Structure 1
Amino acid sequence: MKLIFTLMFTFFSFFQSDLESLRNSYSKANQSNENAKNFIELAEKKNSSDIMISAYKAAAKVLEAKVTTEKNKRKSFVKSGATSLESLIKSNPNNAELRVIRMSVQENIPKIVGYNKNLKEDKSFLISNYSKQNAALKSYIKQFAAQSKTITAAEKASFK
């Protein structure tokens, strides 16, 4: 019994560190092309069917359009990443972290691309569901909100 518990704990701890490393890398990805490339590389190394890992991989695809030197591939990177992210949100509409990821992608992608239709919806969802999240996710949402271009100062104050 102890062995099973230890194995499960080890697996859970390993998974958590994967998700935590993706979160940390993602939060810095838009600061520079180097950070973006590091995040993309980290996301590509993850081989998991977990929805959160998949969501960060989708965000990495969209971000890849920003740093690629192959201009003819930019559109396909955005389309592939956005399609994957939308599919995950459609399957898990009450997942706040998925909404944070989509909102950050939509805030940081050029408006001309046209992938910015869910900003108000996601902002509203995050504000109304913030109190229901665990401490780690609350901290992540608060960190995102602090630098968000869509969330007003008064709304930022509601993330306590």
Structure 2
Amino acid sequence: MKLILSLITAFLFFFQSSDLEALRNSYAKANQSNANTQTFINVAEKQSASDPITSGYKAAAQIMEAKVTTEKGKRKSFVKTGATSLENVIKSNPNNIELRLIRLSVQENIPKIVGYHSSLKDDKAFILSNYSKQNSALKSYIQKFAAQSKTFTATEKASLK
């Protein structure tokens, strides 16, 4: 019985991990084009998990929906709803580095006129100070983000090795 339960748990964990990888990969490409943004939104919407990281990506997808929507009146509501959701998830999980990375990337790429960029310095400092405690997959993800980021300096990017 324990063996069956262990196999089921491993099976579920495997597919949850691949879902997270799909979210990460899609999110990393989302800003390259409107088609990639729409792909990320679709991948995020299909996620059934309700863990904090998945919720963070879903919130980012809501914010990014403002970029691709054709309904101009909805843009503000997409950003507001997504930003509120992301802030709530981070408030509940303040020590989650991936959630901080999501918020940093959103705030770095959203137009300044929107006014959602107050946590850039805090999130960058948190990521730099907690980077060494992360697993290798997350370290690699952070390195890839930092390499293309406008927020990290060359010295800070070099320190993420």
- With the shorter chain as reference, the TM-score category is over 0.9
Distance 1:14 1:32 in 2: 28
- Scaled by the length of structure 2, the TM-score of the pair is 0.98
Distance 2:101 2:20 in 1: 14
After TM superposition, give the deviation of residue 159 of structure 1 in Å: 0.2
Residue of structure 2 equivalent to 1:48: 49
CA deviations 1:95-152 (Å, max 9, x no partner) are: 0000000000001100000000000000000001100111111111111100111000
Letter in 1 for 2:86: L
Distance 2:133 2:47 in 1: 28
Residue of structure 2 equivalent to 1:69: 70
After TM superposition, give the deviation of residue 82 of structure 1 in Å: 0.3
Q: Helix, strand or coil: the match of 1:98?
A: helix
Greater mean deviation of Cα atoms: 1-10 or 107-116: 1-10
Letter in 1 for 2:52: I
Written as runs of structure 1 = structure 2, the 5 A alignment for 1:3-152 is 3-152=4-153
- Scaled by the length of structure 1, the TM-score of the pair is 0.99
Q: Please tell me the root mean square deviation across aligned C-alpha atoms, in Å.
A: 0.6
Distance 2:108 2:32 in 1: 14
CA deviations 1:4-55 (Å, max 9, x no partner) are: 1110000000100110100000000000000000000110111121111111
CA deviations 1:55-91 (Å, max 9, x no partner) are: 1000000000000000000000000000000001111
Distance 1:12 1:54 in 2: 17
Letter in 2 for 1:82: A
Q: Gaps (5+ residues) in structure 1? A: none
Distance 2:131 2:47 in 1: 28
Q: Helix, strand or coil: the match of 1:55?
A: helix
Q: Matched residues, percent identical?
A: 68
